[in-house]
Amino acid sequence: MLAGAFRRITKTAASAFSTTAAATNLPQMPPCDFTPKPFDGMSKARAKEVRATHLSPAMLTFYKDPVYVHQGHKQWLFDSDGKRYLDLFAGIVTVGVGHCHPTVLKAVVDQQETLWHTTNIYMHPKIHEYAERLTATLPDYLDVVYLVNSGSEANDLAMAMARLYTGKYDIVSLRNAYHGLSTFAMGATSLGNWMQQMPTRNGLLQSMNADVYRGPWGGSNCREESSQVVDRTCDCSPGECKASDMYAGQLEDVLKHCTPKKIAGFIVEYIQGVGGCMQLPRGFISKAFELIRAKGGLCILDEVQTGFGRMGTHFWGFEAAGCQPDIIVMAKSIANGFPMGAVVTRKEIAASLTSALHLNTFGGNPMACAAATAVLDVMEEEKLQSHALDLGRYTLRKMEELRDKYPIIGDVRGRGLMLGMELVSDRETRTPLAPEIVANIFEDCKDMGILFGKGGLYGSCFRIKPPLCVTKEDIDFAMAVMDIAFQKHQPQA
């Protein structure tokens, strides 16, 4: 087993790993001067028993032998045995500035000594300080914040606001989209493997996904600021995308045939996260917004994964898309792991909630707001957005090198440090790689010390979305590990 190549991480972990790696021809993990605390909690064996008997079977885990995480530091995770992992998934794109970042940690500890919680029926400083800081990152017209606990809840609230404000009911999303698993949000989600056997579609419709890799239209010149599709040509000139017109035409067809004269709105991700880091073609979102507004609807941009500098070129995904949403939704990196989400919109739209009493008990919790404010401080002080731009471009080029080397990598895509790698058994047909092979590559990479996500309808896309503090040396290590795993599992001609 590749896992046997690793030793327990101690103060001499870097040299120990280097020795082991050299002996087994494994890439050397970059050094880390952080030493985790000794683990003295419930054993992994006992935790597995508790999970099997007292936790819901719906709580899925990655890997045949799940990682039993004990402590985190910046881009690193340590398990109960002290083994160190490079975290390229950031707690599902959540730990934006790094695990237990000292600035965020200090802000939370300081706040704990003053006030843990009070609801918004009283006023406290942190929610007001954060609202002012957050709106300063946005265009002037997006000036009202409502804080909640998660992305799903924020998407629910955004769609409710659209319905209340317009007085209309129908909301359109895209196939392959993921907007959460609460009842409302599940209706806007359009990935069959995430759908429960229950009514969720009331007033929620889906249009064809603007997928230039697997969809009927698209090719080698359709993406903006990213790796382009290979093995598929198109006749688009530089700066234009005919595919976006075709997919916008599909949306127009849905609006003509499946909705009344006026609708409530449209919700979309700039890059589809759970859907496999799927990038929409250039210009599509702006064209879609025009169609929606012609029907009286509001345009909602789901920034749960794309916000807070991860795009590199821009702080928010809608800025990269060149569009002006009426409502944006955010969560995940907003507070670096504290349960928090937000809906930001115009005053007149926000006022729609005043038609009845509305309260969120934990929304705007003082500790979460302290953490969220510290995240903005760290983003600015450490220049993490520009780092995401430079390192994201570097990572994408390294991923392209792997794609050009291994035919089972059909596509690489993304922007900044939100990147995806699609695995196929046949590049021409784009047939997804067999799940057992995907799983074996995934397991081998974990055994060699890197963690990343999986996504897409077929689970065949590797999602690389690390904390923004990740380094070039980390990326080189990760790509070397993936090189070994792909070489091992590349089918022989």
User: Picking from 135-149, 161-175, 214-228, 230-244, which range would have the lowest pLDDT averaged per residue?
Assistant: 230-244
Crossing angle between the packed helical segments 366-381 and 125-135, to the nearest 10 degrees:
40
Domains of the chain (ranges; CATH) run: 2-97+385-489 (3.90.1150.10), 104-381 (3.40.640.10)
Residue 19 CA to residue 22 CA, distance in Å, equals 5
Residue 207 CA to residue 249 CA, distance in Å, equals 10
pLDDT of 493: 60
pLDDT > 50? residue 1: no
Give percent of the chain with pLDDT exceeding 90: 87
The residue that leads in pLDDT, 224 or 28, is 28
pLDDT range class, residue 81, cuts 50, 70, 90: very high
Quick check: 410 and 422 in contact, CB under 8 A? yes
The mean pLDDT of 36-42, rounded to a whole number, is 96
Global pTM reads 0.93
Q: Which H or E element spans position 424? A: strand 418-426
pLDDT of 6: 30
pLDDT of 18: 40
Residue 163 CA to residue 160 CA, distance in Å, equals 5
Mean pLDDT over each residue of the chain, to the nearest integer: 93
Residue 405 CA to residue 417 CA, distance in Å, equals 22
pLDDT > 60? residue 242: yes
pLDDT of 184: 86
The mean pLDDT of 11-31, rounded to a whole number, is 58
* Angular region, 91: left φ>0, alpha ψ -120 to 50, beta rest: left
The mean pLDDT of 218-229, rounded to a whole number, is 88
Q: What order do you get walking across the sheet with 69-73 strand by strand?
A: 69-73, 76-79, 84-87, 450-451
pLDDT > 90? residue 94: yes
> In this structure, which amino acid lies at residue 418?
M
pLDDT of 24: 58
Residue 469 CA to residue 336 CA, distance in Å, equals 12
The mean pLDDT of 367-379, rounded to a whole number, is 98
Sign for the pseudo-dihedral over CA of 194, 88, 428, 484: negative
* DSSP H helices in 73-170: 90-93, 102-112, 125-135, 151-166
Closest CA to 285 of 254, 323, 317: 323
The mean pLDDT of 130-143, rounded to a whole number, is 98
pLDDT of 85: 98
> What are the tens digits of pLDDT across the range 434-463?
999 999 999 999 999 999 999 999 999 999
Quick check: 373 and 126 in contact, CB under 8 A? yes
pLDDT of 92: 95
pLDDT > 60? residue 74: yes
The residue that leads in pLDDT, 66 or 184, is 66
Nearby residues of 198 by Cβ (< 8 Å), 6 or more positions away: 183
pLDDT > 90? residue 237: no
